[in-house]
Amino acid sequence: MYENFTDEQLKGIPALYAQDGLGEEKTKVYLKVSLRDYIWLITEYNPEEDLFFGFACLGDVEMAELGYISKIELEGIVNEYPVEVEKVDITLKEAKEKWIN
């Protein structure tokens, strides 16, 4: 069972709004969290609020979107199910092309 996000995984993720307005070609993804066809691509993080920002596709590409993701809620999923958490260094555009069908 997974034990929450590690300091190493969270290290280097920029603050909320740090990549605002950069576009998909320049916005970097720092964490990929996946469970079957559910994928969260984490681009920013606010440790004071335990809040991620990124792109979420929860099984339906048409409904996938950018938005805020509660770290605590995501850790609840990570601790309950066989979730893969991977530190990545890829643009949002590349990540969507690679992992979002």
Structure tokens at 70: 């509660």
Report d(CA 2, CA 76) in Å as an integer.
Answer: 10
Identify the DSSP state of 15. Answer: P
**76 in a domain, yes or no?**
yes
**1 in a domain, yes or no?**
no
First-residue to last-residue Cα distance in the chain? 28
Mean pLDDT, residues 69-75? 91
Q: What does pTM read for this prediction? A: 0.91
Q: In which element (H, E) is residue 32 found? A: strand 28-35
Residue 57: predicted pLDDT = 95
The count of domains in the chain is 1
Which residues span the domain enclosing 20?
7-99
How long, in residues, is the chain? Answer: 101
Confidence at 3, pLDDT banded by 50, 70, 90: low
Question: How many Cα atoms are found within 13 Å in the side-chain-facing hemisphere of 1?
Answer: 6
